[in-house]
Chain A
Amino acid sequence: MTIDLNQVDRPNSYIGKTVPRPNARKLVEGRGQYVDDVHLPRTVHVAYLRSPYAHARINGINADAAKAIPGVLRVFTGHDLKDVCTPWVATLDHLKGMKSAPQHALAVDRAMWVGEPVAAVVAESRAVAEDGAAALEVDFEPLPVVADMETALDPETPVLHEELGDNLTFTRTHESGDLADAFASAAHVVEETFHTGRHTGVCLEPRSILADFNRSENQLTLYAATQAPHMIQSSFAKHLDLPEGKVRVICGDVGGSYGIKVHIYPDEMATAAISRVMGRPVKFIADRLESFTADIHARDHRVKARMAVDSNGKITALEIDDLTGIGPYSVYPRTSAIEGNQVVNLCGGPYDLASYKATTTVVMQNKAPMCQYRAVGHPIACAVTEGMVDLAAEALGMDPVELRRRNLVPDDAYPYTAASGMKFEGLSHHASLDKLLETMGYDDLRREQQALRDKGVYRGIGIASFIELTNPSPFMYGIGGARISAQDGATVRMDPDGSLVVLSGVTEQGQGTEGMLAQVVAESVGVPMETVKVITGDTQTTPYGGGTWASRGAGIGGAAAFRAGRALRDNIIQVAAAMLQSTPDALDIIDGAIKDRATGEERMPLAELGRIVYFRGDTLPKDLDREMVATRHYITSDYPFAFTNGIQASLVEVDVETGFVKLLKHWCVEDCGRVINPQLVDEQIRGGIVQGLGGALYEECVYSEEGQLENANMADYLVPMASEMPDMVIGHVETPTQESELGAKGAGEAGTAGAPAAVMNAINDAIRPFGGRVTRMPFTPERVLAVLGKVPDPDGR
């Protein structure tokens, strides 16, 4: 029996409805349980001394004074841990030619970025551990710093890892179609260089881990704030030389992740290694300050782009050249080449392009490591593509909407293979564009813009179409050799009272995954949602899975849960049919009771069925299967990724005297396939947009030439805040994926993907009368004033 999810009037029709998520109240009341809330007997605390230099030799560490502080228990250096914990090298086999160097939990003899952990002080409390760290005397000998990615490959630039020969981590060029011909015969060729600022994901809960190695069982239990418990299990087991089965990862509540908590961090690995040595629980809670240099950064890209259009407004070619600096090591185990690779995969994505060429060059330098952060590569690719489309429209004297209409892949063209080689099952660019224009009142806004301009008020409208990569298959990491599961599973169990327990391999980071799972299971079995309890984040009890990343929670975790729910439902009906002397196809489960399918008459509540199965099994036929539990898995196989699409628009007002940009309104229409919970999806889009706006206007890790991070605090690193955020209007088009019964694709990154491009185009639309153009994010007042010719260019161009 399948459910027709398109039918509106279904019993227990939670899928597609806004229902409050069960864990919201707990979190609001402060009853969540984060890693720092876990208190184990004999716990000790660790603080890390971090390198104050971007590149320095460590000639010696004198810990005498630190050890003399009452409450300090032990000090560890890189040499102390290098035999407890093996180093890792983050490359993936399918990224041809990729190279990186071995990275240790604590720096051994050489520190490579400001913030790299150099020594650990273990003490009775975190405060005393910090006293100890302050008392360490480290003999650093500064070495030449490679800060600028533009010169990282120059022959005179020092090579950071001699054994690698140069500072190149990865490069790849993709080419399709006849580029030379397209550019030669173009009516217009437009060119521009874009910069996206290096930034980081500022999680409300910092990275946290409590490692408890129990010698008596040779068992390591990690209470960790993570997106991917099984990946953590596998990586920690490997490098601490334990069988995977001897590592258990428990992940309770997590206060936001955004990709920050899906990597292997040296300080977390060191914490586990220390627990292994000391045989005691060791807690590490990163503080906000160290997070700025110890969490991954992302998005530091320079992209040169060229686009050719013919006189009819048909885009005939796009060429991009991407350069990115990823710090001294590729980050384990996902690698730091993925972001550049994504830029190559995603540029030009919404458009029907005849020819496309893209190169990414990924280099090493002495800055904090960069890796995957929400919407990996998307905001960059989208800003470049959409910036170029607007430039082409300007060259043609055409409305930017009209140019998009002429070039977006038609809605009836699917399945479609893009010039980048990406395969799209079904997208809705034109339907989304139409809905956007109608929602925002595009023509009225254009008229208002003109009227206000005559009064010296400069408003701009920016549009950005985008695609989003979701529901990844093993083509993302697995084929490269990483033990990162693309498959996910769910177990659904009915207990004697008829209530359900769901165990899922995807995880809750505060975004509502557990609410989504409860909805899916409640409907697929046929019970009230209040009777469903969801458990995630425990490698020892949940099915093996990938966790939460690449917008896969609903599309993959939800699809597995849907299947498991259907399977359990079939099992229950089988038993009910035997009890009621009926046949399975004559029965249904609705609202937690067995009902007669034809009449809707109630035959037996599930609690009664449970009572009999669990306590009076003697009354049932001996050979009757009575499995009140079912496990199912799901993996995407027809397509490497389930692409989604959408379009955003931004309305801004630029104060041309101060360079300040006021965000007046923001719209997004997106298509994530089946919407399971409209409110949760809208929240994802909104939160994603805010993070995108952060990158566009506020957030930037500002480094000096010496590789010092100059704004590593919450006063100087500007995160977007509520007062400055615009009203956002979210709309949907639904093109369910045919791959799963559920039909859901991902929605977690769409907002972030398109927002920076929309804002950039809006600012440039606003200041068009002055002739300048911003292309370097974040668009600070000073940068805006510089392109308006009012102040010198801070970036020295």
Chain B
Amino acid sequence: MKPAQFAYARAKDLPHALALWAEAGEDAQILAGGQSLIAGLGLRLADTPALIDINHVPDLAGVTESGDRIRIGAMTRHAELARNPLVAEHAPAIAEAAPLIAHPAIQARGTIGGSLAYADPAAEFPACVVALDAELVVQGQGGERRIPAADFFLGLYETALEPFELLTAIEIPKAGRRRQTVQELVRRHGDYAIVGIVLAADVQGDTLGAAKVVYFGVGDAPVVAEGAARALEQGDVSAALKALNDDLDPPGDLTGGPETKRHLARVILQRAINALRAQ
């Protein structure tokens, strides 16, 4: 389908972007990589009067190091995240997730900010930032605020971003000795996951200290499996697998019914544990 008519404006810098947005109204959308937005326009899912292009705003892309954190600009592309050495060293889950997203053409355009703001429940990055205790930096007319990743994803394509608020960066604590892994089940390379998991922990013998178990594709947002995490901290894998019965309540979709999703979630947890231990 062809999109309905919309206006387009290219922002020079951040204040300009915010000003353009205020002028165009709440329903106008920020254009980042366009890999979800443009497809949505073609589907005529929403009435979008205008796009504000932030691809030319300086300083929104790139990865920097500051103290015990790394800072990823919202406009950093998936392809860059897959090859950036700072990311590989300090947030390996992000580096591992990036090549799993779609295909090279989409990785070359798509941005982490767009992925998080779009908040697809089967997407990789939202679960990663939750598992890695990231903080999302957002900028509105009133200035900057920081939102813990755990509080950012509210539901299906729904985030804590207020109207006219732009996501500018993601700050992630350095992994240090913590190990991270991303596992997912997809029918075809690059598809959204049927079930995926991000597991981060301090591996000491059998125990997985301060374990973070975050699923994607099993709810309307990233799902934190608290019970499983507590059991892993005790080094009790079978208790963790059992805990998933309470931790997860996956809705069925075209890829499988709730029981299938639960079954696959157990399989993938076991695989993630194995992967973490093998690192």
Q: B-contacting residues of A (Cβ < 8 Å)? A: 125-127, 130-131, 134, 287, 289-290, 657-658, 660, 698, 702, 710-711, 715-716, 718, 720-721, 723-724, 780-782, 785, 790-792, 794
Contact = CB atoms under 8 A, between A and B. Distances in A.
B51 to A, nearest CB: 16
A723 B2 CA distance: 30
A126 B5 CA distance: 12
Contacts, number: 73
B185 A660 contact: yes
A46 to B, nearest CB: 13
Given A130-B1, A130-B2, A791-B260, A723 B188 contact: yes
Contact of A657 (B2, B189, B254, B267): B267
Given A698-B187, A711-B254, A781-B264, 14 more contacts: A127-B4, A289-B1, A658-B267, A660-B185, A698-B188, A715-B191, A721-B190, A724-B188, A781-B187, A782-B260, A785-B260, A792-B257, A794-B257, A794-B260
Contacts of B267: 657-658
Given A127-B5, A289-B43, A781 B256 contact: yes
Nearest to B256: A782
Nearest to A794: B257
Contacts of B185: 658, 660, 781
Contacts of B260: 781-782, 785, 791-792, 794
| Shortest beta-carbon contacts, A-B, top 3 | A127-B2, A723-B189, A782-B256
Contacts of A702: 254
B157 to A, nearest CB: 14
B194 interface: yes
Nearest to B192: A715
Nearest to A700: B254
A716 B259 CA distance: 20
A782 B255 contact: yes
A710 B254 contact: yes
A792 B188 contact: no
A702 B257 CA distance: 14
B264 A658 contact: yes
B83 interface: no
B: contact size bracket: 20 to 34
A781 B189 CA distance: 15
Interface in B224-279: 254-257, 259-260, 263-264, 267
B121 to A, nearest CB: 14
Given A724-B188, A724-B189, A791 B1 contact: no
Given A658-B185, A698-B187, A724-B189, A791 B257 contact: yes
Contacts of B194: 781
B188 A782 contact: no
Interface string B172-210: 000000000000010111111010000000000000000
23 contacts: A126-B2, A130-B4, A130-B44, A134-B4, A289-B1, A290-B1, A658-B185, A658-B267, A718-B187, A721-B189, A723-B188, A781-B185, A781-B194, A781-B255, A781-B256, A782-B257, A782-B260, A785-B260, A785-B263, A791-B259, A794-B256, A794-B257, A794-B260
Nearest to A697: B187
B256 A721 contact: no
Contacts of B257: 782, 791-792, 794
B195 to A, nearest CB: 9
Interface in B1-17: 1-5
Contacts of B188: 698, 718, 720-721, 723-724
B209 to A, nearest CB: 27
B238 to A, nearest CB: 15
A45 to B, nearest CB: 10
A711 B260 CA distance: 19
Q: Which among A125, A130, A782, A785 has the highest number of chain B CB atoms within 10 Å? A: A782
A716 B1 contact: no
B192 A131 contact: no
A381 to B, nearest CB: 27
Contacts of B254: 702, 710-711, 716
A428 B189 CA distance: 38
B78 to A, nearest CB: 17
A617 to B, nearest CB: 57
Contacts of B187: 660, 698, 718, 724, 780-781
Contacts of A127: 2-5
A782 B260 CA distance: 6
B192 A134 contact: no
Contacts of A134: 4, 44
A243 B43 CA distance: 41
B237 to A, nearest CB: 15
Contacts of A723: 188-190
B259 A131 contact: no
Contacts of B256: 780-782, 791, 794
A658 B189 CA distance: 16
Interface in B151-166: none
Contacts of B1: 130, 287, 289-290
B268 to A, nearest CB: 8
Nearest to B44: A134
Contacts of A790: 263
Interface string B38-72: 00000110000000000000000000000000000
Nearest to B187: A718
Contacts of B264: 658, 781
A721 B192 CA distance: 14
Contacts of A724: 187-189
A691 to B, nearest CB: 15
Contacts of A658: 185, 264, 267
A716 to B, nearest CB: 5
Given A127-B3, A127-B5, A130-B1, A791 B263 contact: yes
A718 B187 CA distance: 8
Nearest to B262: A791
A720 B187 CA distance: 10
Contacts of B44: 130, 134
A785 B263 CA distance: 9
A792 B256 CA distance: 10
Contacts of B5: 127, 131
A385 to B, nearest CB: 28
A710 B253 CA distance: 10
Nearest to A716: B254
Nearest to A126: B2
B4 to A, nearest CB: 6
A575 B18 CA distance: 82
Nearest to A715: B192
A379 B120 CA distance: 37
B123 to A, nearest CB: 12
Contacts of B190: 721, 723
Contacts of A780: 187, 255-256
Q: Which among B3, B43, B190, B254 has the highest number of chain A CB atoms within 10 Å? A: B254
Contacts of A716: 254
A459 to B, nearest CB: 19
Contacts of A791: 256-257, 259-260, 263
Contacts of A720: 188
B43 to A, nearest CB: 7
Contacts of A710: 254
A702 B1 CA distance: 22
B276 to A, nearest CB: 18
Contacts of A715: 191-192
Contacts of B263: 785, 790-791
A422 to B, nearest CB: 37
Nearest to B252: A794
Contacts of A290: 1
A792 B262 CA distance: 12
Contacts of A792: 257, 259-260
A127 B238 CA distance: 56
Nearest to B2: A127
Interface in B21-45: 43-44
Contacts of B4: 127, 130-131, 134
